[in-house]
Structures are given as structure tokens and as C-alpha cells.
Amino acid sequence: MELKNYESVIIFTPVLSDDQLKDAVGKYRQLITEHKGEIVHEENWGLTKLAYPMQKKSTGFYQVFEYKATTDFIKVLELQFKRDERIMRFLTTAPDKHAVIYNERKRRGEFNQPKKEKEATA
């Protein structure tokens, strides 16, 4: 089965402790690799302020996963996201070829100035 690129952003509730958060993130990391997936990159934004309240909370833990997975796996993964009460919201996207290049460059830190970065590169 061919692997496709995916990117998931998950917002965990802010009530989790550090260990609980690590547990939750670890669970999904494991789930991806167990299903023949391949994690390309992950990012934790820590406790971030939300633009609007969600489930009466104004902050959340953001976690970004960039990974390769089979198309069938996404259904499984999203079902797990929905069932997980620690997750307030999630979004899975399939980045196009430009997005993949952009993400790679971002990881290598080619964008130095946060404001100019998009203007000059991407």
C-alpha cells in the first residue's frame, strides 16, 4: 500500500498534566508507526491561547504531526481522535507538493524573519 503525506494538528485540553499530555501524544505517535506509518516531523506548541473559547476553555495544547500513512489509516486515526476526550479539536490535511517543500524548508530554518519569511520563500 502506498504511503501518502498527511498533516494533523491536534488540540488537547489544557487540563492535562505534562505526563498526561506526553502519554496522549505518545499514544498517537505509536498508533501511526504501528499502522505502517512514518512520522516525518512533529511539533509541540505547548500551551497556546485560542482565538475563541472552545469547550469553555481559552487555552489548549497544540500538537502537529507530519507523517506518511496509508489512506485507510486516516479513518482509523480520526475515529480515535473523535473518541478521545482529551482532544478538543483536530484537523487532518493532505499537503500538496508545495506544502511538503515549504515544510521542509521551514524545518531547516530557512525562514529567519517571521514577517519576511513568507514573502521571500515558501
Which residues make up the interface to another protein (CB under 8 A)?
A: 9, 11, 50-52, 54, 60, 62, 64, 89, 91, 93, 95-96, 98-99, 101-102, 106, 114-115, 118-122
Nearer to another protein, 70 or 92 (CB): 92
**What residues does 57 pair with on adjacent strands?**
54
Nearer to another protein, 1 or 114 (CB): 114
The nearest distance, CB 64 to another protein, in angstroms, is: 7
Tell me how far apart the alpha carbons of residues 50 and 43 are, in angstroms, rounded to a whole number: 17
